[in-house]
A and B are shown apart, each in its own frame.
Chain A
Amino acid sequence: MSPPTWILKMVQPRGTESIGRTWCCEAVENMTWLLKEWIRLKSFAELQILSKILSNPVPIIVSNGLGQFFKGIMEPQCKKQKTRVLSTFTWEVTPVLSDEKLCEVELLEAFAAPIINKKQTSCLIKQLTCLYPLNNLPHIKRVRNCRDKSDHPLEIIICLLRDIPNREVSLNDLFPEAKADGLGEPFRVRIPAYQPLTRSQFEVASQHWPTTFRENKQVTDALQGHLFNTEEKTKMQTFMEKAIEAATVGKKMGMEPVGAVIVNPATDEVVAVGHDCRNGPNPLLHAVMVCIDLVAYSQGGGAFNHNKYHNCCFKAVESFPGEHAINIGKPLLPSNDDSLRENIVNGLPYICTGYDLYVSREPCVMCAMALVHSRIRRVFYATSFPDGALGTKYKIHTKKDLNHHYDVFKGLMEDECQFLLS
C-alpha cells in the first residue's frame, strides 16, 4: 500500500511575510508544487519537518487527497528568537508614470535683475507683466528672495532670453520705453520651463528659480515606495493570485498564460475573473477583453459567450452587496433576465468606472485602449510585455490627448507570473 499523500495549502495570514516557493522546496525534500502554493507531502513526517522551519504560525488547509479537508494552524516547533520583520513581500510594485513626470527638469534662459529699492517691487511687477507677460510660464514666481545677498533682498525675472531680439543686457534695452526704477544690473539665469510634477522635479527646479508646485501625494508616496501598506499589499497579492490561478487554467486549455481579475475597490469584491482565450474561436479575446465583457455581463450586458470557459466568471450586480455569489461560467444573456436590466436602468455601475484590474502580464495596445474606453481606475500588472502599452512601448494610460487616464503599477508578484510564462 502506498503511503497517504497529503496536500497542503498554506494560507498566508494577513500581515505576515510571504512563504516563498523556493525556500520551502529546498527545505523539504520530495515536495512537488501544485499550482502556486499547494505542496504534496509524502508523509505526515514531512509536515512535521515543514513546521520546524516555519518562523510564524501559519494557517493551513490539508487535504488527504480524498476530498477531505482539514483546516488548522501550523505552529512552529522551534520558535526562532527573533521573528522576522513583518510585512515583507517578495515583490515590489512601482508606478508607471508618464514621461513628463519622469523626465529631467527642462530649463529656459532668462534675464533677471536685483531689486535695489524694495518699495518698488509691486510697481515693477505691474510694469513687467505688461511688458513681458511670461504667458506660458504661469508656474514661475516672478520675484525671489535672496537672503544670502545682503545688498539686495529680492530678484525679479525680467524676460526670457528669446524675447529679446538682440540679446542685449543693459536695462535700457530691456526697457525700451519705460523707466526701470529700482532695478540693478540684469544678469542671466536659467528657469524651469514647466511646472514640476513630482517632488524630485520640484527640488531640482527650485534650485534654479522658485516655482509653484501642486504636490500629488500619491505620486510622491509611490516614488518613495510608500504607496501601499501591508494590508493593501496583502489584498493586492490575493487578487493577483486569483489572476494567476485563472491563467494556469487557461494555460492548460492551450491559451496564452495570462489571467486577469477586475475588483471593485470600494467593497474589495471581485467583479470578474478571466483568462486569455485567444487560441479559441476568437483571437481577440485576450484576458483583459474577457474581463471587460464579464463586467458587462455583471451589469446585464455582455457580448461573448464564455460558457466554455469555467474559470471566466463574474459577480452579478444584483447580488451586491451580499455574499460572494459568483456566477460561474453561465453569464446571463441580456434577454433572459429583465430584473437585472432594470438594475442598470437605475444608473450605476457604468462599465468599469472605479474598478481595478489585476493582470499577470502587461496589456497590449488593444487591451490598454479598451481599458481607457472602459474607464478603469487602476491597473496592476506583474511582468512586462515587449509590445506592452502600459509602460514598455507606449504609456496609453498617461496619454494627454485621450479622455481618460488611469494609474498603473507594475511588478506585483512578478516572479510568480514570470514562472507562469516560462
Chain B
Amino acid sequence: MGEGDGAGFQPPQKQEQEQWMERALTMAKEALENGEVPVGCLMVYRNEILGQGRNEVNETKNATRHAEMVAIDQVLKWCHQKGRDRKEVFEHTVLYVTVEPCIMCAAALRLLNIPLVVYGCQNERFGGCGSVLNISQDDLLYTGTPFQCLGGYRAEEAVELLKTFYKAENPNAPKSKARKKH
C-alpha cells in the first residue's frame, strides 16, 4: 500500500530544487557559526517547509540528533498539530540537505517512506546513499521503502564548510586513542 500511495509523488522542477538547496546551504553556514557540524536541511511538502534542522548533537548530548532527525521531528509535530496523516505527508516530502545523509538518517528516511532526497556533497565518512553503504536503494523488506537520490548540488561549497569545521576539534569529544596499525 505504501508504494501505491507514494506513486502520486511528482519530483519538483530543477529550478525549485536549486532554490531549496540555496536555503539549506545558508542554514549550514549558520550551524558552523554556532559550532555545530555544518549541515543544513529542509523538508518540503507541497512547496511548504515543514521542517528544518541543523545538527543538535552537542546541545542534546545525543549523538543521533543530526539535522535530518531534527527536521523529521518538526514534520511529525506539524502533522500532529494539523491533525494530518503523517504517512501521507512523508510520502510527498522532499529532503534537501547539504551533505549526503549518514547511514542512520538514510534508514530513518526509508522508515518514513520519504520518496526523494536532494543533497550537496558526499559523506565519505558515514554516507548511507552510496558512499559507505547504499541504504537508500538496498533491498530491505522491513525497513520502509527505498528512496531516490539526487546528489552533487553545490557540492564544493558544502565540502568547504565541513573542512572548516573539522579543522577545529570537537571540544566535547574524549581524547582519541592512539591509532593502532592493523
Contact = CB atoms under 8 A, between A and B. Distances in A.
A293 interface: yes
Interface stretch (B4-12, B13-21, B139-147, B157-165): B139-147
Chain A CB within 10 Å — which of B76, B106, B111 has the most? B111
B143 A375 contact: no
Contacts, number: 109
Contacts of B140: 365, 387, 393
Nearest to B138: A393
Main secondary structure of the interface of B (DSSP, over half): loop
Contacts of A303: 56, 60, 62, 65, 73
- Max chain B C-beta neighbours (<10 A), residue from A282, A353, A375: A282
B61 A370 contact: no
B1 interface: no
Contacts of A344: 61
Interface stretch (A68-76, A170-178, A223-231, A399-407): A399-407
Interface of A is mostly: loop
Size bracket of the B interface: 35 or more
B107 interface: yes
Interface in A387-402: 387, 393-394, 396, 399, 401-402
Interface stretch (A8-16, A125-133, A244-252, A294-302): A294-302
B25 interface: no
B132 A292 contact: no
Contact of A282 (B61, B63, B76, B174): B76
Interface string B49-60: 000000010011
B39 to A, nearest CB: 13
Contacts of A220: none
Contacts of A403: 125
Interface string A342-367: 00100010111100000000001110
B62 A350 contact: no
B15 to A, nearest CB: 32
Nearest to A347: B174
6 contacts: A284-B69, A344-B61, A387-B142, A402-B126, A402-B132, A403-B125
